[in-house]
Homo-oligomer: A and B are copies of this chain.
Amino acid sequence: MKQETLLSISERAGVSITTVSRVLNGKAEKYRISRKTVELVRREAEKCNYKPNIAAQSLRTKRTQTIGLVVPSIENPFFANIASIIIQKAKQAGYTVVLTDAMENEANEQDGVNSLLARNVDGIIISPSGNDPSYLEQINDLKLPVVLIDRFFYNTTLPYVVTDNYRGAVDAVQCLIDNGHSKIACIQGVPHSTPAKERCRGYRDAMTRAGFTSEIDAVGNDFSIQNGYVETRLLLTRHSPPTAIFAMSNTILLGAIKAVSESGLKIPEDISIISFDDNTYLDFLSPPITRIVQPLDEIGTIAIKILLQSIGDGNRSDAKIVLPASLKVRNSIKPVNRSPMNGYGR
C-alpha cells in the first residue's frame, strides 16, 4: 500500500509523467493526448487507486482544495449545526474543511487563522469572536477570500451572510406584545457582537413603536447559562418584575428557566418567555419554548457559494446577505390583558 505517484503510473504505462498528469487532470484534449493513451493511463490509475499528493499539488498550484472554518465554539449547537452543513456542502464541491475553534477568544482565533494561512487554505469562513475586522479585511484584500457568517461587522468590506437579527428580535418582541405583554425584559449576550446589538435594537424599536418606551429593559452581558440565570433572578426580585422575557439565545433561555423554576414560578402562567435559535430539545422542555429560528441551512449554503465563487474567479465578493428568521410558536407565552397603566387595558 505504498504511495502511488505519477512516476509509478507513468512507468507502468510506459509514458511520461507529464502525460499522466495531463490525462488525470482532464487536459488530454488541450494537449492532444491520443484516445488510446488516455485510456491506458486511466486504467492504470484506477487499478492502483491513485490519489494525487495534495501537498505536492498545492505546492505547485497554490490550491489546496481546503477551506478553513472558524467558529467561536463548536460546543455551541448553533455552530455545530452550521459546521455540519458547511462540511457537507464543501465536500460536495470537492473541498475539505479544516475546523478551528476559537473558544470565544480573539487571540485563539488569530492563532487559528494563522494556522489556516500556513496551510494554504483556499478561503475562510468565519464567525468572528472579536470585534476588530481589520486583520480579516487584510487577509481578504491581500491573500484569500474571507466570508463572515452569523457575526459580522458594520462598515466592513468583508462579505457576510447573516440572519436578520433585527427583524427576528422585532418579531419576537411583537409576538409578546400581541399577547398583551408590555413589561418585557430582554436578556442579551456579548454586547459587542453584532447579533446581540441587532437583536437589542430590534427589541428597543419594537417596544418604542408600541409606545412602551419607559418599559425598555435590556440586561445581561454574555451568552452563558449563568448570565441567563443571574439576570433572571435579579429581574424576578424587582418590586415590579417583567411579565415576559426575551432571551437572546438558548443558553440564556436555559438559565432563565432555571431561575424561574427556582423562584417557584411557572412558565407561561407566571411569566412568558421567547427565545432565539432553534433546537430540537426546545420542544421537549416544559412547556415547549416559542422561539425565533435562524435559517442555518441557507446561511451555510450561501456562504459556501460565495466563497467558492471568489476562489474560482479570484475576485472578492462584497455580498452582504441578510436572511429572514422565522417564528416557531409553542407554549411559553401566555396571553394577558394589558395593564390599564399603559392605557391599553379595557
Interface residues of A (CB under 8 A from B): 1-2, 51-56, 58-59, 64, 66, 73-75, 77, 80-81, 83-84, 87-88, 91, 96-101, 103, 111-112, 114-115, 117-120, 138, 142-143, 225, 254, 257-258, 261, 280-281, 283-286
Per assembly, the copies of the chain total 2
Q: In the bound complex, how far is the Cα of B51 from the Cα of A285, in angstroms?
A: 49
Task: Report Cα–Cα, A99/B51, bound state, in Å.
Answer: 19
**From DSSP, what is the main secondary structure of chain A's interface residues?**
helix
Q: Which chain B positions have C-beta within 8 A of A281?
A: 254, 281, 285
Contact pick for A119, options B54, B84, B101, B103, CB 8 Å: B54
Interchain Cβ contacts under 8 Å between A and B, 17 examples: A51-B117, A54-B118, A55-B55, A55-B56, A59-B59, A74-B74, A74-B80, A74-B84, A75-B77, A77-B77, A88-B103, A96-B98, A97-B98, A254-B280, A258-B283, A281-B285, A285-B285
Q: What distance in Å separates the Cβ of A192 from its nearest Cβ neighbour in chain B?
A: 23
Q: Which residues of B contact A83 (CB under 8 A)?
A: 74, 99
A54 touches B98 (CB 8 A): no
Contacts of A54 in B (CB 8 A): 55, 118-120
